[in-house]
Structure 1
Amino acid sequence: MPPVSALIKPNFFLVGAAKSGTTSLASYLDQHPSVFMSQPKEPNFFAFPPDSTPSCNGPLDGDVLFERLLKYSTTSEQAYLALFNAAGTASIVGEASVRYLYQPEVPARLAGFCPDARIVVIIRNPAERMYSHYHMNVMAQLEPLTFEAALAAEDARIAQGWGWDWHYRRVSMYADQLERYFAAFAPEQIAVFDYGDFQADPKLLSGKVLEHLGVNDPFEFDCSSSGMVGAAPRSRWLRNLIWEDSLLKRLGRKAVPGGLRRKVSAYVERKNQSTIPPMSDALREALTAQFEEQRVKLEQMLGRPVCW
């Protein structure tokens, strides 16, 4: 591995918000010859102390949580910078770790690492973002409660040390999070976009992000595919059978070849998925109203209307 001084440093960070189209946006930007995005998409380098072992508390054993949430994270600076070795002559070198928007220490760390960095944020109706975040956890077998119960349990879970992945309401408090970024970077270094605009015209918004990054040549993005599309299990019992260890699965491992087991599990997993049930208008309105103070603060910060 080459010395750290010889490695390319990122100069662009897509910091969130979670469940607001960042996976799709990162993949679209990566199509441009002047842009290089890291693989994995979310190395989470600035979200954890240097040279530490990334970890979080939650409803499952720490080893399981690491495997499902953090296994692609790196806290070694040399390993982190090595992710950008293949950037070549790309003028925009970036990554997209959505934990960065929420973690309070990250803006200062980013500014210390790359003072001239460009920052991009996508914000989404906070109620819809929470709902999508919750269903992502359900599909990953990380959320045993109903949506309403999980929101009610948030304070108690945080008091018990549960990690970012279950801070549904707090992760949606964008104004408080952006305030830290505007304290660490000049306003012209930060661009905040709306998820609704991205949904309506991903090519147009991707082009606006390129302009913010200083890339002004015309480019035709292929936006035919999207990133992480949410889903809900038809049967939680069947989902548990696939994911959790059991006597039946241990017997199956002895009798059925590994490749066939994985194919069967993947097939059952696909068949067990259904679209996320829509959130009721009443619930959306009630939850959105809880963020009115944040919305007003955002409008003052950004100098434009924020419509939820």
Structure 2
Amino acid sequence: MSQAYPGQADWHPSFIIIGAVKAATTWALEQLQVNPALYMPDPEPHYFSSEFDRGEDYYRAYFEAQVGSGRMLGEKSADYLAHPDAPQRIANMLPHARLVVQFRNPVERAYSDYKMLYRRGTVKEGPEAYLASLDNPQPRFLNDGLYAQHMRRWLDHFPTDQIHAFLYDDVKAQPKATVEAISHHIGVDPVFDIGQSRKKANNASERFLPLPVRKVLAPLKSTIAPLRGHPLFESTRGFFAREIAYPPLSPQLRLRLRDFYAEDVEQLGKLLGRDLSAWLRDEPRDAQNSRGEREHSKVA
């Protein structure tokens, strides 16, 4: 059960996963949902970012049915990290909330974010149209990876011991230890589901249903969600799913992105007390994962 603080309503979440987008936040959500001591809604509320104008009743609706259940309440909205107003808004309502933030190589994150909107049909041109500078129709691709810049905003409103940070690389190298560290930070005994971890890894393919089919099924997303993992559902999906041919990230653009992020990566490394220089080098991902870095970081 979460600790009660003055001014904290019984439906207020005690912890929030704040991002970053495309950095394994869904993996963290699904691992924490396995824990019977916790409740986290499947949809991202986005209350402290894009949905703030909908008012407090909108946010309460995500949690009020769980009041009295004895479960600790939390949520995940991956866009909070980069949103300029989210830190102040959360601090105003939930000043004691435990925050969880994860980071991914910003070059890989930017391209992954681009690919997500490309397969949705939101963007149609190649990466050069969106990743060469911030002056483009989707500045989030670049802006969301300026992690140190964003973290300074959060540190203006929250003490360091309320923020737990880890890397996308940690999820791949040490998934169980990652879940344990998050759980200890938010104040519950850890539960790790190796099957859930493997299922997520197996589903992280580049095969998707055709865009027109995905648009038709979009309103049924919550209805379909429980069917995921069922052999019949997966075999049917696999029959229709196709690998998407994404416009490639050229070596020249990759180098330009490294230059763009170099100073911010250095500053983030100082905040976390970790060597992140491998993010800016040509190095196999396994080598990056095996570097002698501190396993799990508090923002320092």
Q: TM-score, normalised by structure 2?
A: 0.73
Partner secondary structure for residue 155 of structure 1 = coil
Structure 2 counterpart of 1:47, from 38, 46, 49: 49
Taking a change above 3 Å as real, the CA distance of residues 33 and 232 of structure 1, as seen in their structure-2 partners, is: closer
Please, which of 198, 209, 231 is the counterpart of residue 224 of structure 1? 198
Deviation digits for residues 192-240 of structure 1, max 9, x if unmatched?
111111122222211111111122x353323222288363779xxx74x
In 1, the alpha carbon distance for the partners of 2:255 and 2:143 equals 17
Q: 1:194 to 1:277 in 2, by over 3 A?
A: farther
TM-score (norm 1): 0.71
Which residue in the other structure is 2:293 paired with?
none
Give the drift of 1:270.
3.7
Match status 1:291 vs 2:261? yes
CA contact under 8 A between 1:124 and 1:194: conserved in structure 2?
yes
Q: Does the aligned pair in 2 maintain the 1:28–1:206 contact within 8 Å?
A: yes
Give the distance between the partners of 2:208 and 2:127, measured in 1 at CA. Answer: 14
Residues 1-308 of structure 1: pairs in structure 2 closer than 5 A? 8-40=11-43, 42-48=44-50, 50=52, 52=53, 75-84=54-63, 85-86=65-66, 88-91=69-72, 93-152=73-132, 154-157=134-137, 166-215=139-188, 217=189, 219-222=191-194, 223-226=197-200, 229=204, 231=206, 239=211, 270-274=240-244, 279=249, 283-307=253-277, 308=279
Give the whole-Å Cα distance in 2 for the aligned partners of 1:242 and 1:294: 40
Percent identical among aligned pairs is 31
Instruction: Determine if contact 1:25/1:206 at 8 Å carries over to the other structure.
Output: yes
Give the 3 Å change call, closer, same or farther, for CA 139–83 of structure 1 in structure 2: same
Q: Contact 1:11–1:118 at 8 Å: present in 2 too?
A: yes
Q: What amino acid sits opposite 2:198 in the alignment?
A: S
Consecutive aligned runs of 4 or more in structure 1 exceeding 4 Å deviation: 241-245, 266-269, 274-283
The runs of 5 or more residues in structure 2 that have no matched partner are 1-7, 217-232, 280-300
SS in 1 for 2:101: strand
Contact 2:132 2:253 in 1 (8 A): no
Give how far 1:287 is off: 1.9
> What is the distance in 1 between the residues matched to 2:247 and 2:46?
31
The number of residue pairs the alignment matches comes to 248
Post-superposition offset of 1:86: 2.1
- The 3 A distance-change label for structure 1 pair 6 and 98 is closer
8 Å contact from structure 2 (residues 33, 39) kept in 1: yes
Q: Alpha carbon RMSD of aligned pairs, Å? A: 3.0
Q: Following TM superposition, by how much is the alpha carbon of 1:39 offset from its aligned partner in structure 2, in angstroms?
A: 2.8
Question: How far apart, CA to CA, are the structure 2 residues paired with 1:129 and 1:29?
Answer: 23
Aligned partners of 1:242 and 1:269 also within 8 Å: no
Distance 1:153 1:185 in 2: 31
Superposition deviation, residue 94 in structure 1: 0.9
**Structure 1: which 5+ residue stretches go unaligned?**
53-74, 246-262
The structure with the largest alpha-carbon Rg is 1
CA distance in 1, matches of 2:75, 2:213: 32
Q: Is the CA contact 1:139–1:231 (under 8 Å) kept in the aligned structure 2?
A: no
Pair 1:244–1:192, CA change in 2 (3 A) = closer
